[in-house]
Amino acid sequence: MRIVSVIVLLFTSLTFFSQGNESKLEIFHLTDNFYIFKTYNFYKSNKISANGMYVITNKGAVVIDSPWDTTQYQPLIDSIKVKHNTTVLMCIATHFHEDRTGGLEYFKQHGIKTYTTKQTDELSKKHGMKRAEFLISKDTVFTTGEYSFQTYYPGQGHAPDNIVIWFEKEKLLYGGCLIKSIEAGSLGNLSDANVKEYPTTLKKVEKKCKDPEYIIPGHDDWINTGSLKHTLKMAEELNKKK
């Protein structure tokens, strides 16, 4: 029943917010005060979508990862203001790649608190990516309004610094690019990946984030919660080939 409800919500959101593939910013209601936003960019000449998430609290909005499309930073802020009559309080990026950190500087300039881990900041500096104002030195629990979530670094996988965000009470796991959608046929961009450690890292996520009702991957569809096991299977198969 939950999957059917999510499908209905997604269809409603698509009808209201998007105009087919030409839409640059799409916003979907996930559950309660949680929303997914999707933007697009090109990777190896292919147009690819990227997921981010925000949660509306009674203090304001918490954004996880920034839009991949650099023209959509302000539209996201404006959409949250119009739809929810609130402002964005903070943004946290889950690893150093541009589809996660691209909007950090823009958000900071607009009075939004920005966060990454120290490891992400070091890699962002090294690779010329945008950097956050505030740095996290260890796994941290944030509480904003009525919601709490934990940042968790399980080890290297998609990138050396990838973290996941765990809303334990809501059983909601934001996996970012560490987790691939059930429709993904491969682990995607492995230019900064640690293929050997990838399976171990995913098993740590499974152990830490038990029985998630929602799992949000960094790209593509998020309806099927089998995405974590699907990613683990692909990582283990890739290791066997090495």
Per the structure block, which two tokens stand in for 185? 């046929």
Q: Which residues are annotated as catalytic? A: 95, 97, 99, 158, 189
Q: Among 120, 59, 126, which residue's Cα sits nearest to residue 92? A: 120
Q: Among 110, 196, 210, which residue's Cα sits nearest to residue 152? A: 210
Q: How far apart are CA 134 and CA 60, in angstroms?
A: 18
Q: Is 149 helix (H, G, I), strand (E, B) or coil?
A: strand
* Radius of gyration, CA atoms only, the chain: 17
CA distances from 108 to 9, 102, 180 (A): 32, 11, 29
Q: Is 90 helix (H, G, I), strand (E, B) or coil?
A: strand
The amino acid present at 223, given as its one-letter code, is: I
- Answer positive or negative: Cα dihedral of 206, 207, 211, 217: negative
Strand partners, 21: 19
Q: Is 191 left (phi over 0), alpha (psi -120 to 50) or beta?
A: alpha
CA distances from 195 to 40, 56, 159, 204 (A): 26, 36, 10, 15
